[in-house]
């Protein structure tokens, strides 16, 4: 890299003091408009960039938010990113996104990167592998406000924005029961995630409402397309196969549809399926998927708004806030 | 924010000189292991962060790459991000992603952000709105290597990595003709993008090979799900409706399938459809989509490898390189 152009370089070329140049660049009223224009023109010509850290020391702000997210490909997360960015850019903040790729190690690296880049605040949904949160505690210790969304923890003093997992799951399973299902399988997220627990609990209570006994043999850990397709294949071949499926996300639900078709079972004739997310794919698959809308875009907007409020408050009298975004059953053709 | 802990703070607390503390933190051999341990322990306790710019001035590196991308939701781009990150993290670089959201204005902001954050290098696919590239020229002027991928321009002295758009389109249209199609519509990208031109040209030459006259009435600008579904609806109702469709991406192809179904046309009985991308959705829709695999993951890996080579070379004797990733027809059920 070539050497950075400094205020001194500009001052020398114009025969001015560095203080004059510095004040001209900051539009100080003591400097004449003509001088200001000359200084700025030369600065632009030379490619002068103000020293960012020096700027920060003055304004204490970088106008940048960090976002650490497990997976960019997942529709729900990309909807959240779009919601976050809408609020951020409207308020003159940039958003730098880091993808942990569901890896704890990479996430620790991401947390270090947002720290090193001195962002003003951070939004986080942690990886499935993450069980220790000290890399996020370090951000909080450095007085960088952190807002968790979707995958949240009570172990840290930080704001949380989540979907109403319990309510969404309850609606989904209630719908399956009303469609006549008696043996409903649940494809669940890892149970150390609050969202995994919440959805299982909604499933449980919908059964309870209809006096259907809870059967742990019908609970499977399957939250990817591949694992869900494989498990669905196996259990749909059994004589006591489930007649309904409630899956933790849409990709898992679509995998079940695929598996049922492979086995010449009719959806929704033989098997009813409800997903969770309301992704683009839900409207593309055949039959179109009945699912729970999580409103990722709204969730992202809300998380960013909370973070921006925290930045204004400057952490005085901090009490973490938890915001729950209500979900909605979207009835299509799969159940 | 609280005041940053400095080396001086640590030195005062330990009764050492700042030079001793500084050398201890850098594991200088003149400092005893015991002193080094004591210094590091206190530094960790106080939450000391080395001044990044000072670090940079020493090493000239931030070990961070900037990535500016139009849309995170698009499968192709998320595959590229994953390919880029695989190479980056393997080489101990972090990747900060900025989404332009197809907005020129936001992209200019993104370019400023990567400049301000002093990344070591930048990977770019520009927005559909972008026709002026001076914000990227500014990065090059600051001797930050830039590699363009997918959406590239010859206006700048920078490396390019692209799919073989011409070859992929030729394969797709040739396949449609071999399946018996005579009136093939092309849903095209904007023609100021090189990829838009390349795919149209492949379409044209495949027709030529089979002596089918090129008819500009069959070319439509339609590269989103919504616009493609709407146009397909209109033209599939005409008596001289197309019997084949080659679309610029998979979402457009799936939109045509949906429109055909809405009108009770059989795919592939009445209408044959080939997409471009090989997204996840291509394997999920019904019938499964025949499409051109763009190998986004490989394209991302390649782009990042070129960038890392540039960082090693330090720009001596720069000659931009253009890498073309071959594509492959994936035959499924829609044509």
- Convert the pLDDT of each residue in B18-36 to its tens digit: 888 888 887 777 888 888 8
Of B78, B70, B99, B146, nearest to B294 by C-alpha is B78
The Cα-based distances of B240 to A40, A171, A250, B236, B243 in angstroms read 62, 47, 38, 8, 9
Tokens of B309: 């080579």
Confidence of residue A208 (pLDDT cuts 50, 70, 90): very high
Residue of B nearest to A256 (CA): B284
To probe the interface with A, which of B1, B70, B251 has the most A CB atoms within 10 Å? B1
Q: Is B96 on the interface with A (CB under 8 A)?
A: yes
Minimal Cα–Cα distance from B285 to chain A, Å?
5
Q: In chain A, where do the E strands start and end?
A: 64-69, 94-99, 121-124, 146-149, 159-163, 184-188, 219-221, 244-247, 272-274, 291-293, 322-325, 328-330
For the segment B111-147, what is each residue's pLDDT rounded down to a tens digit? 999 998 889 999 999 999 999 999 999 999 888 999 9
Of B137, B176, B143, B170, nearest to B156 by C-alpha is B137
Average pLDDT score, chain A: 91
Is it the case that residue A49 has pLDDT exceeding 80?
no
Range name among A82-86, A96-100, A117-121, B310-314 with the lowest pLDDT average: B310-314
Q: Which DSSP symbol is given to B240?
A: T
Q: What angle do CA A206, A210, A213 make, to 5 degrees?
A: 85
Q: Which candidate from B1, B62, B79 shows the least CB-CB separation from A143?
A: B1
The pLDDT value given to residue A55: 47
Distance CA B56, CA A125 (A): 30
> Which superfamily does A7-50 belong to?
lambda repressor-like DNA-binding domains (1.10.260.40)
Q: Do B51 and A52 touch (CB under 8 A)?
A: no
The pLDDT value given to residue A58: 45
Contact predicate B47/A142, CB 8 Å = yes
Average pLDDT score, chain B: 91
Q: Which candidate from A52, A82, A98 shows the least CB-CB separation from B96?
A: A98
Longest dimension (CA), chain B: 91
Q: Do B116 and A49 touch (CB under 8 A)?
A: yes
Q: Are strands A244-247 and A184-188 parallel, antiparallel or unpaired?
A: parallel
A174 compared with B52, residue with greater pLDDT = A174
The pLDDT value given to residue B109: 94
Is it the case that residue A53 has pLDDT exceeding 50?
no
Mean pLDDT, to the nearest integer, of A252-257?
Answer: 97
Q: What is the dihedral of CA A283, A69, A85, B117, to 10 degrees?
A: -150
To probe the interface with A, which of B94, B107, B249 has the most A CB atoms within 10 Å? B94
Q: Do B7-50 and B63-162+297-324 share a fold?
A: no
Report percent pLDDT > 90 for chain B: 75
Q: Which candidate from A52, A101, A281 shows the least CB-CB separation from B85?
A: A101
Is it the case that residue A265 has pLDDT exceeding 90?
yes
Range name among A42-56, A208-222, B37-51, B76-90 with the lowest pLDDT average: A42-56
Q: Which candidate from A60, A94, A115 shows the least CB-CB separation from B110?
A: A94
Residue A286: φ, ψ to 5° = -130, 120
Q: What is the dihedral of CA B79, A106, A79, A134, to 10 degrees?
A: 170
Minimal Cα–Cα distance from A143 to chain B, Å?
6
Contact predicate A229/A169, CB 8 Å = no
Interface of B with A in 104-123 (CB under 8 A): 106, 109-110, 113, 115-118
Q: Which candidate from B64, B72, B116 shows the least CB-CB separation from A81?
A: B72
DSSP sequence for A4-48: PP-HHHHHHHHT--HHHHHHHHTT-TTS-HHHHHHHHHHHHHHT-
Q: Do A49 and B99 touch (CB under 8 A)?
A: no
Interface of B with A in 223-262 (CB under 8 A): 225, 254, 258
Distance CA A292, CA B170 (A): 41
Distance CA B145, CA B160 (A): 12
Interface of A with B in 284-323 (CB under 8 A): 284-286
Range name among A184-188, A310-314, B290-294 with the lowest pLDDT average: A310-314
Q: Which candidate from A64, A78, A96 shows the least CB-CB separation from B73?
A: A78
Tokens of B211: 């002596």
Contact predicate A314/A121, CB 8 Å = no
Distance CA A30, CA A41 (A): 18
The pLDDT value given to residue A18: 82
| Domain limits, chain A | 7-50, 64-162+296-324, 165-293
The Cα-based distances of A244 to A247, A255, A266, A274, B233 in angstroms read 10, 14, 12, 8, 35
Task: State the CATH architecture for A64-162+296-324.
Answer: 3-Layer(aba) Sandwich (3.40)
Helix (H) or strand (E) segment spanning residue A81? helix A75-90
* B-chain residues near A98 (CB < 8 A): 94-97
Q: Do B52 and A116 touch (CB under 8 A)?
A: yes
Range name among A36-50, A269-283, B93-107 with the lowest pLDDT average: A36-50
Q: Do A101 and B82 touch (CB under 8 A)?
A: yes
Instruction: Kindly indicate whether the domain formed by B165-293 is annotated with CATH number 3.40.50.2300.
Output: yes
Confidence of residue A57 (pLDDT cuts 50, 70, 90): very low
Contact predicate A128/A102, CB 8 Å = yes
Tokens of A34: 């003509």
CATH of domain B63-162+297-324: 3.40.50.2300
- Residue entry with tokens 């960039």: A49
Interface of A with B in 44-73 (CB under 8 A): 47, 49, 51-53, 60, 62, 64, 72-73
A318 compared with A92, residue with greater pLDDT = A92
Q: Which candidate from A85, A110, A143 shows the least CB-CB separation from B99?
A: A85
Q: Is B332 on the interface with A (CB under 8 A)?
A: no
Tokens of A122: 């951070």
Confidence of residue B3 (pLDDT cuts 50, 70, 90): low
Minimal Cα–Cα distance from A321 to chain B, Å?
20
Report percent pLDDT > 90 for chain A: 75
Confidence of residue B54 (pLDDT cuts 50, 70, 90): very low
Minimal Cα–Cα distance from B286 to chain A, Å?
6
CA atoms within 13 A on the CB side of B251: 15
Distance CA B308, CA A180 (A): 58
Helix (H) or strand (E) segment spanning residue B292? strand B291-293
To probe the interface with B, which of A52, A72, A112, A315 has the most B CB atoms within 10 Å? A72
The pLDDT value given to residue A134: 95
Other CB atoms within 10 Å distance of the CB of residue B164: 19
Residue of B nearest to A288 (CA): B285
Q: Are strands B121-124 and B94-99 parallel, antiparallel or unpaired?
A: unpaired
CA atoms within 13 A on the CB side of A230: 8
- Residue entry with tokens 């990044």: B52
Q: Which DSSP symbol is given to B239?
A: T
For the segment B204-221, what is each residue's pLDDT rounded down to a tens digit? 999 999 999 999 999 999
Contact predicate A70/A103, CB 8 Å = no
Mean pLDDT, to the nearest integer, of A112-135?
Answer: 94
How far out from the chain centre does Cα B140 lie? 19
Mean pLDDT, to the nearest integer, of B31-47?
Answer: 85
The pLDDT value given to residue A237: 97
Q: Which DSSP symbol is given to B238?
A: S
Mean pLDDT, to the nearest integer, of A79-94?
Answer: 96
Tokens of B215: 């008819």
Q: Which candidate from A101, A113, A285 shows the least CB-CB separation from B64?
A: A113
């Amino acid at each position: 890299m070539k050497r950075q152009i400094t205020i001194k370089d500009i001052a020398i070329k114009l025969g001015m003091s560095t203080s004059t140049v510095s004040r001209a660049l900051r539009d100080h009223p003591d400097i004449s408009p003509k001088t200001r224009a000359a200084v700025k023109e030369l600065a632009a010509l030379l490619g002068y960039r103000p020293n960012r850290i020096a700027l920060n020391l003055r304004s204490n702000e970088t106008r940048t938010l960090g976002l650490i997210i497990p997976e960019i490909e997942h529709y729900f997360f990309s909807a959240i990113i779009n919601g976050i960015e809408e609020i951020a850019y409207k308020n003159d903040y940039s958003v730098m996104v880091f993808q942990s790729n569901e890896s704890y190690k990479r996430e620790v690296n991401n947390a270090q990167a947002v720290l090193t880049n001195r962002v003003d605040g951070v939004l986080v949904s942690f990886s499935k592998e993450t069980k220790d949160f000290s890399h996020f505690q370090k951000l909080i210790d450095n007085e960088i406000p952190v807002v968790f969304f979707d995958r949240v923890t009570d172990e840290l003093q930080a704001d949380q924005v989540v979907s109403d997992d319990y309510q969404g799951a309850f609606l989904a399973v209630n719908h399956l029961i009303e469609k006549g299902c008696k043996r409903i399988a649940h494809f669940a997220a890892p149970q150390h995630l609050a969202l995994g627990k919440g959805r299982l609990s909604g499933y449980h209570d919908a059964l309870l409402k209809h006096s259907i006994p809870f059967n742990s043999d019908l609970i499977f850990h399957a939250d990817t397309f591949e694992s869900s397709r494989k498990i669905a294949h196996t259990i749909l071949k059994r004589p006591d196969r489930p007649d309904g499926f409630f899956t933790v996300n849409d990709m898992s639900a679509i995998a079940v549809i695929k598996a049922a078709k492979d086995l010449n079972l009719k959806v929704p004739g033989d098997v009813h399926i409800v997903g969770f997310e309301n992704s683009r794919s839900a409207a593309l698959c055949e039959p179109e998927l009945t699912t729970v809308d999580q409103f990722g875009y709204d969730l992202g907007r809300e998380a960013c708004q909370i973070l921006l409020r925290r930045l204004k408050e400057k952490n005085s009298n901090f009490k973490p806030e938890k915001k729950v975004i209500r979900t909605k059953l979207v009835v299509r053709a799969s159940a």
